[in-house]
Chain A
Amino acid sequence: MQLDLKTVEALAPDQASLGAAAKLTKRSNWPRLEAHEQLPLIWGECQGSGSNPYRVAFDTSDHGYKCTCPSRKFPCKHILALAWIGATASDSFARVDQTPDWVNDWLGRRRKPSQSPTPAAASSEGKSIDEATRPEESAPVVDAAAAERREAAQRKRAEDTRSAVSAALDELDQWIADQLRLGLAGFVDASSERCRRIAARLVDLKATALAGRIDELPAKLMALRGEERPDAAIRELGKLVLLAKAWRAAPDDAELKRLVSTSETREQILANPDAVQVESDWEVLGEKIETRRDGLVSHATWLLDLKSTTPRFAVLLDFFPASAGRRSGAFAAGDRFRARLAFYPSRYPLRALVAERLGDVAPGAWPAFAPDAAGDPLAAYAAFQDGAPWLSDCPIILPAGAIALDEKDGAWWQAASDPHGIALPVAGSVNQTLLGIDLAATAALWNGARLELLASQSSIGRLDLS
């Protein structure tokens, strides 16, 4: 490893990046740090602000780099921190002779520079490692009155936000009543424009999360057949009514605040005693990546708890700007790992973040979850709706079944035990090969109208369906 701090300094786009990188050089931020025995390569996983750790790789010979974070600074603070650790604490890296697949992917795609970099290639002007590592000047001692004023200001801001959100929900209520008065047939046809307008109003009134949800409603409706859209509109608008009522009843409830206005930070979740932490073996069932109308990409990674006796799921949810381009995920479908997840406090905890990753787990079959006593594959969905009737997508494990086609070539999941009874429609099109494979168990998201298949177990192994 031939790295020195001068190189890190020269690579940094600005002093602020160096400062941010300095804070990330703590070993605790890096659950994984590895260096190749023969190749000039170091890589690691850095626990950033997202639910997944960022994957960072650095070529110490030509200073090429790759990070999965959405930063628009190149290189980002994670790259700088990795190089920094490489320059100052190379013993922190475990020596290995194999590169992980995600590093391989990057190596396979990248084009090496025609010349080796020289220290002069990047300028260190205006940036200083010394300055970045200088301890922050201690804050001036403030008097008690100032502290009280600051707390009062915070309380006022919180009160203002609550008033604004309350006003937003009043407007939402009125808007919903208007849609019913004008007719849902017209609403479905003009949903794009109407939803955009109320969403913009909700953003103004600080109900940001709710605005994002309403913005996505037209796309959800359009994904359905014409005759299904009014029902879908009734379901979603009904959920919004319930959410608004629930918030009014408990405006400080963490889950409801998250669904209406803003979410907690990673640090807040990790520090929150109400956030359940579960250490277990997890399998990545699949991913759901959607570009939203507000310009963000939502990247959901669905996990299955392999140690639980009943199906338990988690979703790692990240958002990043669509303009930042395609971003490789931290996990691939089928990956298995041991980790401690911290769940966002909720009536039906699903959203989580990786608090600590503890190593990989060998591949294998899913646990044999006991079927619902009544044989209803949607029993879990009913329980989910009891706990959180304002939510839509519920992960479920379906029993043995197969995929069949209706007369319009729409795909349906059909229970093996009751080929003339339970059948659920599948969203989108399916790989035709799937029609010939008996599914021993299937993980999917059910939203009340469609199944989104994530993965299956079958006689020919695990099937990635997301």
Chain B
Amino acid sequence: MNELDQAGLARLRDGWISGGAAFELAPAEWKEVAAAASPDERERRLLAIAGQALDVALRPAAPKILRRRPPLPVLALPMLPERLRPLLRAALKYAADARLKTRVAALVASRGFVTHPMDWMPAASDQSGPEVYAPWVDWQAGADGERQSRREHLTAATWDDFYPAARRSALIDLRRSAPALARTLIETKGASEPAEVRLAFIELMRFGLGADDVPFLKSLSADRSGKVREMAGRLLARLGEHGSPASGGSEDPIAELAAFIEEGKSGFIRRRTTYAPIKPKSQAQQARRADLFATCYLGDLVARFGKTEVDFIGAWQFGVDDGADLFLVRMVSVSGGDAAVASLADLLAAAGGRLAILGLQLTARLDSGRKRVLISQILHDAQNLAALNMVEGAEAGWLEWGDLAKGKTLSTLRSAVSGDNDVTKRNAEQYLEAIGFLANSVTAEKLIDEVVAAGLPPASSSLSLLRLNAALTENPSKSDR
């Protein structure tokens, strides 16, 4: 369309927008086509010509500036094979919230694959997903592709080449392999960061935490952020460095907490010391006790009784007060030393039942072996399998069929799916989802057969994760990537 036509079209358009006859405003050639008709017909003919001109001859003008995002980084693992994507999408659809969806991605990553980005992407703020997704987390957060695609070692010189998620992932690796180097980086580079970022760095000190970290952590007692000081204090407490900021003085919280615990003796021949919670007399006391357990450090408390952490835990009378048991386990998880955490986890796993479930509070600090022992025990007892959905940092795809078959879980699931109780059935579906994450592929496949034989519809969506898990066995061939 030439410029004259365009100008004529613009005039016609303006005329029609405001209303009235626009024939005289049309380009000369268009007028010829539309002439020799009634006034209304002339307008309609022009309308048809103008409509076609707008449709074919004119196109929406592209803005001068169009922003393109950098290419989505290629991750270190291959993408899930196309044929498995429907199973992945079904499992993601069944997962009720972001945490459970992340768990599906963790299962996929544990088998050496990543999800298709249109099926699942980590959020920009995601810190709990598999580390392989760190470049996508940074991409989501707006990072440009050039810097983050570099695969250099994290050093003071390369610090700025890393975007936050990739840097976090690199720092974790460094804390595991060379904790002193990582600490130096956190110390030198973290100081200039805002409190929120400093806190995230200090939190990473839990990886490879050791006595060498004490001077740096102590230096943080002067940090301007209360949260940073609190985190450093907890880490110090884990290293056996006592002394809560609030201990001592006339309002000593450790003394106040100790007053809620009764020292006693048990045994006839070999008398040994026991510690039992004293029942609070009021709601206010109960709340105060919870508060004290949450803010005091284990090391300070046991020092008050002149015991080691491990001895104190061994002497604690579990079962007297469920609330106090929970508070103590949380306290150990937050500020107990590694030995105390391991000792408590062993104790709770050996006790089984309700206490083993209590042990899930410790999973963030347990090594892989102890986590598995604890989860195996919970599966064996089958008292509260739904709790398995809440496990923090559990590993995917290790549960053997033997672990599952020897306990009560299988019979619990069978009776639930074959029964008429809708609540029990719904619970069983949650258990299947939890086991779908924990099981290895053989276990997943066998479990599907078991519950289907017991009456669960073979296409039940609660089997989605198990089905994905079972299908992921063929992954090693990687032939159809």
> Given that A107-B457, A406-B65, A414-B68 are known contacts, is A363 also in contact with B19, CB under 8 Å in the complex?
no
Q: Which of B43, B55, B66 contacts A414 (CB 8 A)?
A: B66
The reply to whether B66 and A423 contact each other, CB–CB distance below 8 Å, is yes
Q: Is B393 located at the chain interface by the 8 A CB criterion?
A: no
Q: Which of A106, A174, A404, A448 contacts B68 (CB 8 A)?
A: A404
The reply to whether A177 and B44 contact each other, CB–CB distance below 8 Å, is yes
Q: Is B7 located at the chain interface by the 8 A CB criterion?
A: no
> Given that A107-B460, A406-B63, A438-B71 are known contacts, is A385 also in contact with B56, CB under 8 Å in the complex?
yes
Q: Closest CB-CB distance, A411 to chain B, in whole Å?
A: 10
Q: Is B458 located at the chain interface by the 8 A CB criterion?
A: yes
The residue on B at minimum CB distance from A105 is B459
Q: Is A382 located at the chain interface by the 8 A CB criterion?
A: yes
Q: Which residues of B contact A109 (CB under 8 A)?
A: 461
Q: Which of A241, A412, A421 contacts B47 (CB 8 A)?
A: A241
The reply to whether B18 and A183 contact each other, CB–CB distance below 8 Å, is yes
> Given that A107-B459, A230-B17, A433-B117 are known contacts, is A241 also in contact with B44, CB under 8 Å in the complex?
yes
> Given that A180-B22, A230-B13, A423-B62 are known contacts, is A174 also in contact with B40, CB under 8 Å in the complex?
yes
Q: Which of A185, A434, A461 contacts B116 (CB 8 A)?
A: A461
Q: Which residues of B contact A434 (CB under 8 A)?
A: 118
Q: Is B431 located at the chain interface by the 8 A CB criterion?
A: no
Q: Which residues of A contact B66 (CB under 8 A)?
A: 404-406, 412, 414, 419, 423
Q: Closest CB-CB distance, B143 to chain A, in whole Å?
A: 11
Q: Which residues of A contact B70 (CB under 8 A)?
A: 436
The residue on B at minimum CB distance from A238 is B51
> Given that A107-B458, A108-B460, A238-B52 are known contacts, is A363 also in contact with B82, CB under 8 Å in the complex?
yes
> Given that A177-B40, A414-B62 are known contacts, is A183 also in contact with B20, CB under 8 Å in the complex?
yes
> Which residues from 23 to 67 on chain A have a C-beta closer than 8 Å to any C-beta of chain B?
39
The reply to whether B56 and A382 contact each other, CB–CB distance below 8 Å, is yes
**Pair count A-B, CB < 8 A:** 160
Q: Is B270 located at the chain interface by the 8 A CB criterion?
A: no
Q: Which residues of A contact B117 (CB under 8 A)?
A: 433, 436-437, 460
Q: Is B67 located at the chain interface by the 8 A CB criterion?
A: yes
Q: Which residues of A contact B20 (CB under 8 A)?
A: 181, 183
State the CA gap A174–B38 with chains docked (Å). 12
State the CA gap A398–B60 with chains docked (Å). 16
> Which residues from 447 to 472 on chain B have a C-beta closer than 8 Å to any C-beta of chain A?
457-461
Q: Is B69 located at the chain interface by the 8 A CB criterion?
A: yes
Q: Is B281 located at the chain interface by the 8 A CB criterion?
A: no
> Given that A177-B43, A405-B67, A460-B79 are known contacts, is A437 also in contact with B72, CB under 8 Å in the complex?
yes
The reply to whether B47 and A234 contact each other, CB–CB distance below 8 Å, is yes
State the CA gap A230–B54 with chains docked (Å). 11
The reply to whether B68 and A435 contact each other, CB–CB distance below 8 Å, is yes
Q: Is A131 located at the chain interface by the 8 A CB criterion?
A: no
Q: Is B420 located at the chain interface by the 8 A CB criterion?
A: yes
The reply to whether A463 and B118 contact each other, CB–CB distance below 8 Å, is yes
> Which residues from 1 to 43 on chain B have a C-beta closer than 8 Å to any C-beta of chain A?
13, 16-22, 40-41, 43
Of listed B54, B79, B86, residue having the most chain A CB within 10 A:
B54
The residue on A at minimum CB distance from B422 is A111
Q: Is A71 located at the chain interface by the 8 A CB criterion?
A: no
How many interface residues does B have (CB within 8 Å)?
Answer: 51
Q: When each residue 208-234 of chain A gets 1 if its CB lies under 8 Å from chain B and 0 otherwise, what string results?
A: 000000000000000000000011001
Q: Which of B54, B55, B67, B86 contacts A404 (CB 8 A)?
A: B67
The reply to whether B16 and A183 contact each other, CB–CB distance below 8 Å, is yes
State the CA gap A461–B43 with chains docked (Å). 50
Q: Which residues of A contact B18 (CB under 8 A)?
A: 183, 185
Q: Is A381 located at the chain interface by the 8 A CB criterion?
A: yes
> Given that A406-B66, A460-B79 are known contacts, is A101 also in contact with B86, CB under 8 Å in the complex?
yes
Q: Closest CB-CB distance, A427 to chain B, in whole Å?
A: 12
Q: Is B48 located at the chain interface by the 8 A CB criterion?
A: yes
The reply to whether A449 and B60 contact each other, CB–CB distance below 8 Å, is yes
The reply to whether A464 and B47 contact each other, CB–CB distance below 8 Å, is no
The residue on A at minimum CB distance from B462 is A108
Q: Is A118 located at the chain interface by the 8 A CB criterion?
A: no
State the CA gap A241–B145 with chains docked (Å). 51
Of listed B47, B72, B82, B460, residue having the most chain A CB within 10 A:
B47
Q: Is B334 located at the chain interface by the 8 A CB criterion?
A: no
Q: Is B373 located at the chain interface by the 8 A CB criterion?
A: no
Q: Is B50 located at the chain interface by the 8 A CB criterion?
A: yes
Q: Which residues of A contact B272 (CB under 8 A)?
A: none
The residue on B at minimum CB distance from A245 is B48
The reply to whether A385 and B52 contact each other, CB–CB distance below 8 Å, is yes
Q: Which residues of B contact A363 (CB under 8 A)?
A: 82-83
Of listed B62, B82, B140, B420, residue having the most chain A CB within 10 A:
B62
Q: Is B59 located at the chain interface by the 8 A CB criterion?
A: yes
The residue on B at minimum CB distance from A242 is B48
Q: Closest CB-CB distance, A381 to chain B, in whole Å?
A: 7
4 pairs of A and B residues whose beta carbons are closest in the complex: A238-B51, A183-B19, A436-B72, A423-B62
Q: List 15 A-B contacts (CB under 8 A).
A: A39-B458, A99-B458, A234-B51, A238-B48, A242-B51, A381-B56, A382-B56, A404-B68, A406-B63, A412-B66, A431-B118, A435-B68, A437-B72, A460-B116, A463-B118
Residue numbers of A with Cβ under 8 A of B are 39, 99, 101, 103-110, 112, 114, 173-174, 176-177, 180-186, 230-231, 234-239, 241-242, 245, 363, 378, 381-382, 385, 389, 402, 404-407, 412, 414, 419, 421-425, 431-438, 448-449, 460-464
